[in-house]
Every structure is written in structure tokens, then in C-alpha cells.
Structure 1
Amino acid sequence: MGDTVTLETPQGKLRGRRTTSKSGKPLLSFLSVPYARPPVGVLRFKPPQKLEPWSGIRDALEPAPVCPQENVMNGEIIGQEDCLYLHVYTAQLPSGGAVLKPVMVWIHGGGFTSGTGNPDMYGPEYLVDADIVLVSINYRVGILGFLSLDNEAAPGNMGLKDQVAALHWVKENIAAFGGDPNNVTIFGESAGGASVHYLMLSPLTKGLFHKVIAQSGCALNPWAFSLTNKERAFKLGEALGCKTADPNVLLKFLMKEDALNLIRVSRNLFPSSECIRTLQFPFVPTIEPKSTDAFLTEHPMAVLRSRRFHKVPLMIGVTSHEGMVTLKDLQDKHLQDYNSKFGAQLPESLSHESSSVPLSTVASGIKHFYFNDKPISKNNLSQFTDFQSDLHFVEGVYATVKLTIAVSIAPVYLYKFNFDGSLGFGKQFVGVEMEGACHGDDLGYLFRIPLVNIDIDPSSLEMNTINRMVLLWTNFAKFGNPTPTLNESIPVYWQPCSIRNFRCLNIDKEITLKEFPELKRMKFWEDMYRSKL
């Protein structure tokens, strides 16, 4: 298990563990470091509160408890409310006049409903070996993180405010671990990708980070934003036995309910007419009432169009077949529903953008474009996957890039991850044989994930992809440029997007820089849906 090591931070002394990575390099781990007071009792549904320093030496040796959630692997309800902890990994502690290292802060995905930043999911070795300091955080998810009653008592977005609190902790404490608080990159995948994009858009985060990497998620994805959190909260209250129209009565009731029971009942909030929609989650980021400590007070699209966001270097991208994740447990009945209720699977947000285009028109246009008006069946699952990819991921990323490069001088680097290898965690979870990279398949090439932990041949394409991905990501964190120099693994300069040239780095067995492959499909969405881009 390795020796222990103690260091002093502004919060207090920590005892961590000294081990080595699989490559034999030093690895220091400080686990379960608190970054805010436990959000329990009267602090449930409240913004994270500043943590007081502790006395003595605090053990930082074991992974943190996960926040209350459903385990996506087995459906079990797990976790505890005292969950606002982070993990710090570094190769060495600072000494003398040592130069501080770039910091990368990882925010996990899980649809704002599940997930953890713990090392059993996100092993730190590859990134720490590349000479950065890595921080991985846990934050409140589900109703505990995203209850909104549209009032001062429960304005919403507490999970995102947890992330802000964690970034404040990084700014104040990371130098003790050898990290540079003036060179912080936030990165995340899926809901973590949407989270780091939201952090770009919020007025609460000024000066807390300097670069952003959004993987397979952004604030413009339909599953990442809702205007109906309040209505869903009242539905939840009624399902639990509290039928009321008074938000104060509901909040008082929810404060007393068992946390795991809140999660358990939240799973069944959507009416049967909405069940056809894939990738929908009951409680996610929303608009808050205006206040000095509000995280988000207008639609993410409005923030982008108004130019009121942090203009820092952005790396953003998708996998080649994001929508493959919607094929898990797909049955004939689902296909029948998709055909008979095609428009019902589209998020309501598709009708909010342009009142001149009704949702029924959008639905018929989509069905013609992707399926040539033919029924969805197992014979055209490739087209169905493209449709789900674009609807839930690619279109939002495209819109984000186009709006950002129009108003920001900071570079925007766009990528597409195509590599279909044995470390594809997402595809293994979904259990499909289709070629291509599923949602989440890039994670195994940045982190050592025990769930897909296999012995990797040093000469394999998988190891080459790990080396390539880690170098691109850590170069960006260090320099704001993923290809400051070229080498055998990365033989092409990754040039940022421009209004005239929508460049995209395709990451596969080889890497190439060319026009974004989905541009034709994105122009369809732009004409049909986001006519004001």
C-alpha cells in the first residue's frame, strides 16, 4: 500500500499515501479531502458552506463516500449526504524553490444524477506521470444537488455551486501540493463536460480557472438543462405523500425526508408519455432567480450570445458514435414507440429556440433527414445512432463552438474521438457490437479505470492512444496549446477553429486535421432549429 506522507495545507495537516504508478514513477495520493462543510441537516439544499480549518493530522488515505445516487451498474441506491470531498494526486511535494506544476481539475459525468470522482473510476496515473497535479471532485447530484423551487430558499444549481467551492479550495490550497493556482485547467466528460462549460458561463467563477476541456457534453445539450425542475419537485413531493402547491411546505417536507428515499422515488418522475425520451434526468441545471450569489440567471444560449462568459482557451469534442449509449437494452417495443411517437422523444427545448418552427415540423424534418421517412428498425440502427448522437451531443457542441469563436479571441480546439479499442468503457457498458467509439469510450485513454483494467501491451494501439491523448490533454493544460511541438505520436499541428475553417482533430489509429466531419448534418440542424446562430 506504500508509505504515508504528511503535508501542511492552509486548512490543516493531511496524511496521504506514497506509492508508485504502473510505470514505476512516484505517485502521492491525498484522498477524501473536505472542501466544504457537510451539506446535512439544515444545510441540505443550501449552497456549500466554507470549511473551518482542523487541528491535528487528518488521514487522507481512503476514497470518499459517493453522494446519494442510484448505482448505474446494479440499480442499488447508495451514498451519503456528507460527500463534499476531493482527491489530490501529484508526483512530488514542493521543496525549496521548485516550480509549481499545472493543475487539472476533473469533474465526473453521470447525467447530474450519478457518478463519482473516486479513483476506482478515475485512476490518476497516466496524467500524473505527465507532470501535472490532478484534482478530482465529488459534488451533489440528483435532487440533492439540483432541487429548484424558483425562490430564494431553493434557487437550484447547488451541485454546480459545489464545484465552485471546490475551485476556491484549489485556488487557496493547491500550492501546498505543488500545484500552480494560476494555471488551472478544468475538464470533464458528459455531465462533467457540461459542468465545465457552465463554469465558463457563470459570473461566480472569475479567476478560478484558465483553460477548459469539455468532453462529450456542454450546456447546450438538451439533457443538461431544464426549465421544469420546480414542477418535478412538486411531483416528487406528491409521490412521497406531500401534495401541496406551497413551495415552503414542500421544502419543509423534503428537508425531513430520508436522502436515499428521495433518490429512490426520483427515478420514476416522468409520465409515461415522456418515457420514450432517451437521456433525460429529473433534476439538472436550471435558471435561478437573480441574486448576488446566483450561478446562472439566464439561458446558456443567451449567455453565449451576449458574450458574458469567461473567454479562455477551450478544447471541446465528441466521440464518433455518442448515440450508441441509447442502444443499451433496446427492444422491439422501444422501436415501435419511436415510430408511433417520434415527436415525443424530442426535448421540449427544440420548440423553445424558434417559435416560428413548431415541434411537429422539426420532428418531421428530422425523420426525413435521418431516415428518409422509413420506419426505425434494427436495419437502420446506424442512422438512429447518428440521430441520437446529434440530438443529444454533437449539435450542442457545434453550436457552442460556433457561438464561442464568433465573440472570443481565445482559441477553440475541436476534436472527434474515433478510436475503437479494448479500453472502450462506454461500449462495454452498453454491450453492442457496432463499430465506432461510444459515449465514454475516451475515458479509458486518460484514466486507468479498474472496470476495464487490462494488461496493455506497450506496443499496442491502445497504449499509443493513451500516450497521444495524455500528451494532447496535458500540453493544453500546460501551454494552452495541445501541439506546441510535433513528434512521432502527434505529427500534425492542431489548429484552432475559425469562422471560415471549422477544423477538427480526428483521433483514431492515426490523427488527422480536417473539416468537422458532421458539418453537413449540423447545417441541417442550424437551418431547422437554431436559425439565429
Structure 2
Amino acid sequence: MSFSIIFFFVFFVSILFCFSNSDEVYVINTNGTKIIGRKFFTVFEDKPYAAFWKIPYAAPPVGKLRYKPPNPLRWLDKPVYNYSIPYNESCASGRTEDCLYLSIYTPIIKHIFDFPVVVWIHEDAHKHSPDFLIDEEVIVVTISLRTSIFGFLNTGDEFAGGNMGAKDILTALRWIRDNIGHFSGDINKVTVFGSESTAPIVASLLVSAAGEDLFQRVIIQGGSALSPADYRNYNFEIMNKLYWNLDGPFEKFNRTKLYELLSKSSTKKLLVASYDLFDSTEVRDNQRLINSFPLTVELSGKGAFMNKFPLEVYKRKITNNAVEVMIGYTNLDSLHKLDGFVRNRKLLKYLNYNFQYLLPFEGRRDEYGSKLYKKIRRKIMDFYFVNGTVGERSLRRFAKYMSDQVIYPILRQATLHSQVSCNNVYLYRFTYQGSFSLVWNTVLRNLNFSGATSGDEICYQFKCKSLSTAYNAEETSNERLFIKKMARLLGNFAKHGNPTPHSSDDILDGLQWLPLNPAKSVRLLNMGRELKMIKLPEAKRMEFWTQLRNEFFPDRRINDEL
């Protein structure tokens, strides 16, 4: 008996020995290779599925590979792969840069070899389970990608070209294209699903040629490629701030020394140095929210994720328009960020004396306190607040204003894409509030408002591990039907590109979700206590921003009226 056979026997027996129940081990045999995972059952329907954790799709981006494009790895060149050990890390945790892994969750159903695939990209995906989509017979893949300085530093040269986190996603999608068949996945039914901080990246797949033929559908939740906070050119100011934070303030900028510091500093030191680079005065003068490490327009066209601004792509109608799109938002998206005002509403009245406006679109910056600045500020305050005055009772109005910094770019991209796309764009608005509204119940639990804030939809789409025992509790029985409806809509979209293809669906009870029609006013699916098509509730607010943009920041090159 050869050493390799002895090794495999000992290895496999050791795997079985690790678990008290051998049924917990699930093995896929493919091309002479054994792929070992773990077997589980879904929380509602007790359906079996297999989990395969921590599958590397690219080499660890450490050492000389820090800030560099992902380096794909070969696969299926060993007799045994053990992916049965849970992976509870992500790049976003900051504990390690060795984080380019994906995990696969596949239904266990005999004689079915072409499950649709949903690739869910979320920084905390490891804190969730795929049960609801498994019940709909959909494979779920989660991806960990580089974020912050490691994923999106752009130095304007070969040191760090930018958008590495987005290129991580593309590399993972290529791995899925080449290998998901071994897990019974259908490469012709791949849906990329981006939530919250990853939503702008997934939204940018619609305006990037780099991802063509890697997916057929996208779901964009709470973000847009048209957010002014999440796109910019190479920014020398960020490099200068990093240099000061790493080498001490007031030091004369030295690019060579900065690159040495960026290359040799520890993960922790770089995260500390890159945190909160812009203060409130800089945000005020920018008149837009600032993401220190957003997607950027790359100077080099070779291997670029993005070399044109998204609006320019829409103007030239060179979008990825063969993709079916589902896009949506929570109605009070930014309310969770206002917890200081929630705890002490008296603070709101001070905004009257120092209201520093934000704009949800691109354009010039006006000098703070100038005549034009004051004119724009007065228009915004008069529109959003009673008598143009912010008071202790203005919390909901202020939350709508802040949320519109996110909602307006989403609706703008949805509208633009529906005008140029060959396929349908489905728009939704999430307002459901219940036991699994994790963010609301954590940050806003004492606030008696209706609606939902960013992140509240997640535990209705993917089982939150922190709430596992609550899903089958008697007091949440009504919410289980809502979860099943959500899963059916997502599952149908992954399978058919249409969330309501069957009028006789017993779960959806005859619901028909209509796509956007560019020739008509915006209608969307409101996901509240009842699922129903409605006119856009934020229509007047969106019209206000469009009129303000046209009046003060005109750009005649593109017509994107909401």
C-alpha cells in the first residue's frame, strides 16, 4: 500500500472521527477527487444541504501581493479537499489579510445537477446561514473580498491600481464559472447579490465590461454605482493623509517612503492609519458624504474594473444591458446612523444654526457660507422641514433627508438602467419591521417609528445565526410566512429572472411584480406587512433633488429624469 493511500485512509478516518455522527460528513466525488463538506438541515422545511467552507479562489494577498490584482489558484489537483471546518472570518474583520476564500452551500437532492446559483457578497456573510434559499433549491455561495485600504487604495500608478476588492469578486466569479458544476450548479443561472457596503460594487458590474459572461442577474440592496460618496478619481489627498498618519504629521510627502510604509506596516497599523480620514469640516466643504476608499476610475485600461465614470457609461449606452436586475432600498436607510439624535432629540434644534447640507449627486463644490451655498441650503431646509426649521420633532424628516443620500442614487441608477437595458429592472422598497429587524432592534429598539433601516432586511433573506432559536418560536409564526415569500421572490428571480413568473403560486398568493417601465411613472414592490405594487412614495423627494441638480448643477449630456 502506497504512502499516499495510507495517508488518505488515515486522513479520511480522522475526519469521520472528528464528528460524533458520520452523517454530518458529506462527500462529493468528482474526477477522482473527494471534496469533503458538512451536512445540515434547513430550519423551516428540514431539507438537507451540504456546506463547503473556506475554498481558496486566489492566493493570499500578502507580501508582494498586497494591493495587487488577485492571483487565481489551480484547483482539483489533489486527491482530497477538506472543506468541512466552519470559516468564521472575513477580510473586513481586520484580523488577517489572508482572506480570499469562498464558501458553497448546495441542496442535497438526488438526480438534480443544475441548481441556480446566488453569489451573496456581504462583509458579515459568515454570521448567516443559507436555509431560506436552500428551501427554494438554490445554491448559495458567499465570497470574502478585500475591503478598505487593502481592497481599494489607488495610488495612480502600478503600486496600487485600485478596485482590488472588485477584482477579487471577478476572480471568484471565474472560479465559480469553472467549478460550480462539481457542486451541481448551473453556470447559466448565476445571480450576484450585493448588500449594503458591497452593493455599489455589484451595481458597478452593470457598467463594467470586465464582468461580462460571468453572471446573468444581479440583486443590488442599499447601494448604487451613482453614489457620489462611492466613486472618484485617484486622490492625492488620501495618500498625503496616509503618509501623515504613518510617518507623523507635517512631514513633507515622500512617495517612495510612503510605499515602503504601505508595504511593510502591519495589518492593524494600516487599518488604524486609514480609519476616518476625513473630518466633519471636510465633509461639509465636499457637500457630499465621503468614503475614504471607494471604487475609483482606473488610469490604466489593462485589467481595469472601471476606466470610465458610471454616468459616462450610461450616457454612451455601453452598459452591461443583457443582465436582469433587482434593486431596492429600505425606506429609512440612514436612520440607524442618527442614534445620537434618537437618544437626545434636543440636539436637532442646533442644526438650525449650523445646517451643513449634503447632496446625493455629483457636481462642483461651493464655498461654505457663500451666497450660492446659502441659497441651496435654504431650498433644502424649506423642502424637508416644516417652515424650514429643524426642531425636536424633526427626527423622521431629518432621517428621510439623510436616507435620500442613499435612495436617490439607487432610484437614479434603476431608472437609467431601465432606459438602456434589454432586460427587466425590478425595483423594491423594504419597510417590514419585526422580530428579525436586527439593526432596528439593536440600535433603535425604543423608537416608535414604522419602517426599516439599512440591514433590517438581511435576517429575512438569510438566517441570522444570532437569532437561530427565534425562527421556530411560536411568537414569530407570522413572520415565517413573510420570510418564505421573500425567499420565493429571490429564488424565482435566480431561476427565471422574474420574481413572479407563476400567477398560481401558493406562497405569493397571485402577486405580480411588474418591472420598471421607462414610459410610465415609477412603480415598485413595497415589502411591508403586505407585499403590493405601489407608486413610488419618495417621488416628490426624488423630483426635488432632480430639479435642484438641473437648476444648480446642470449637465446637458444625459437625460435621467426620475
Q: With structure 2 as the length reference, what TM-score do the two structures score?
A: 0.85
Residue 457 (structure 1) shift: 4.7
**Residue 74 (structure 1) aligns with:** none
2: CA distance between counterparts of 1:415 and 1:191?
18
Q: Name the SS for the 1:214 alignment partner.
A: strand
**Residue 269 (structure 1) aligns with:** 277
**Residue 101 (structure 2) aligns with:** 85
**Residue 515 (structure 2) aligns with:** 496
Instruction: Give deviations 1:5-31, integer Å, cap 9, x for gaps.
Output: 233568964321112122311010001
2:35 is equivalent to residue 14 of structure 1? yes
**Residue 520 (structure 1) aligns with:** 540
2:308 is equivalent to residue 288 of structure 1? no
Unmatched runs of 5 consecutive residues or more in structure 2: 1-18
Whether the aligned pair in 2 keeps the contact of 1:346 and 1:363 (CA below 8 Å) is no
Instruction: Give deviations 1:9-56, integer Å, cap 9, x for gaps.
Output: 689643211121223110100011111110000000000001133524
Q: Name the SS for the 1:207 alignment partner.
A: coil
Residue 67 (structure 1) shift: 4.2
Q: Please list, as runs of the form range in 1=range in 2, the aligned pairs for 1:82-481 lying within 5 A after superposition.
A: 82-92=98-108, 98-108=112-122, 115-118=123-126, 120=127, 122-227=128-233, 229-241=235-247, 243-274=251-282, 280-311=290-321, 312-330=323-341, 335=348, 338-343=351-356, 345-346=358-359, 349-351=362-364, 361-372=375-386, 374-391=388-405, 393-432=406-445, 433=447, 434-453=449-468, 454-457=470-473, 460-481=477-498
**Using a 3 Å threshold, how does the CA distance of structure 1 residues 64 and 274 change in structure 2: closer, same or farther?**
farther
Q: Name the SS for the 1:291 alignment partner.
A: coil
Instruction: Give deviations 1:129-159, integer Å, cap 9, x for gaps.
Output: 1101110110001100111111232111101
Whether the aligned pair in 2 keeps the contact of 1:68 and 1:260 (CA below 8 Å) is no
Q: Which moved more, 1:517-526 or 1:80-89?
A: 517-526
Aligned residues: 512
Whether the aligned pair in 2 keeps the contact of 1:426 and 1:439 (CA below 8 Å) is yes
Look up the equivalent residue of 1:173 and give its one-letter code.
Answer: N
2: CA distance between counterparts of 1:229 and 1:323?
26
1: CA distance between counterparts of 2:195 and 2:56?
23
Whether the aligned pair in 1 keeps the contact of 2:378 and 2:388 (CA below 8 Å) is no
1: CA distance between counterparts of 2:430 and 2:32?
40
Look up the equivalent residue of 2:329 and give its one-letter code.
Answer: V
Whether the aligned pair in 1 keeps the contact of 2:289 and 2:358 (CA below 8 Å) is no
**Using a 3 Å threshold, how does the CA distance of structure 1 residues 251 and 520 change in structure 2: closer, same or farther?**
same
Q: Which moved more, 1:283-292 or 1:486-495?
A: 486-495
2: CA distance between counterparts of 1:472 and 1:350?
37
**Using a 3 Å threshold, how does the CA distance of structure 1 residues 291 and 226 change in structure 2: closer, same or farther?**
closer
Q: Name the SS for the 1:328 alignment partner.
A: helix
Residue 359 (structure 1) shift: 5.5
Residue 177 (structure 1) shift: 0.4
Q: Name the SS for the 1:240 alignment partner.
A: helix
**Using a 3 Å threshold, how does the CA distance of structure 1 residues 65 and 232 change in structure 2: closer, same or farther?**
farther
Residue 248 (structure 1) shift: 4.1
Task: Please state which structure has a larger fraction of its residues in helix.
Answer: 2
Q: Name the SS for the 1:494 alignment partner.
A: coil
2: CA distance between counterparts of 1:300 and 1:180?
30
2: CA distance between counterparts of 1:11 and 1:309?
42
Residue 345 (structure 1) shift: 4.6
Percent identity between the two aligned chains? 32
Instruction: Give deviations 1:87-141, integer Å, cap 9, x for gaps.
Output: 100112775xx44111100011xxxxxx2321x2x21111111101110110001
Look up the equivalent residue of 1:313 and give its one-letter code.
Answer: E
2: CA distance between counterparts of 1:165 and 1:520?
41
Instruction: Give deviations 1:460-506, integer Å, cap 9, x for gaps.
Output: 33111101110011101100110011335423211111123312111
Whether the aligned pair in 2 keeps the contact of 1:278 and 1:326 (CA below 8 Å) is no
The alignment yields a C-alpha RMSD, in angstroms, of 2.7
Q: Which moved more, 1:328-337 or 1:153-162?
A: 328-337
1: CA distance between counterparts of 2:439 and 2:31?
39
Q: Name the SS for the 2:71 alignment partner.
A: coil
Whether the aligned pair in 2 keeps the contact of 1:65 and 1:79 (CA below 8 Å) is no
Q: Name the SS for the 1:222 alignment partner.
A: coil
Whether the aligned pair in 1 keeps the contact of 2:348 and 2:395 (CA below 8 Å) is no
**Using a 3 Å threshold, how does the CA distance of structure 1 residues 505 and 332 change in structure 2: closer, same or farther?**
closer
Q: Name the SS for the 1:492 alignment partner.
A: coil
Residue 378 (structure 1) shift: 3.1
2: CA distance between counterparts of 1:349 and 1:477?
33
**Using a 3 Å threshold, how does the CA distance of structure 1 residues 461 and 4 change in structure 2: closer, same or farther?**
same
Q: Which moved more, 1:149-158 or 1:464-473?
A: 149-158
1: CA distance between counterparts of 2:255 and 2:301?
19
Whether the aligned pair in 2 keeps the contact of 1:420 and 1:437 (CA below 8 Å) is yes
Instruction: Give deviations 1:240-277, integer Å, cap 9, x for gaps.
Output: 11645444432222010101111122223113413678
Q: Name the SS for the 1:378 alignment partner.
A: coil
Instruction: Give deviations 1:425-483, integer Å, cap 9, x for gaps.
Output: 12123225122111111111111112333244577331111011100111011001100
Whether the aligned pair in 2 keeps the contact of 1:100 and 1:179 (CA below 8 Å) is yes
1: CA distance between counterparts of 2:109 and 2:63?
37
Look up the equivalent residue of 2:513 and give its one-letter code.
Answer: W
Moved over 6 A (4+): 9-12, 275-279
2: CA distance between counterparts of 1:293 and 1:11?
35
**Using a 3 Å threshold, how does the CA distance of structure 1 residues 58 and 234 change in structure 2: closer, same or farther?**
farther
**Residue 73 (structure 1) aligns with:** none
Whether the aligned pair in 1 keeps the contact of 2:121 and 2:193 (CA below 8 Å) is yes
1: CA distance between counterparts of 2:158 and 2:458?
38
1: CA distance between counterparts of 2:31 and 2:88?
23
User: For the pair shown, which has the larger CA radius of gyration, 1 or 2?
Assistant: 2
Look up the equivalent residue of 2:48 and give its one-letter code.
Answer: P
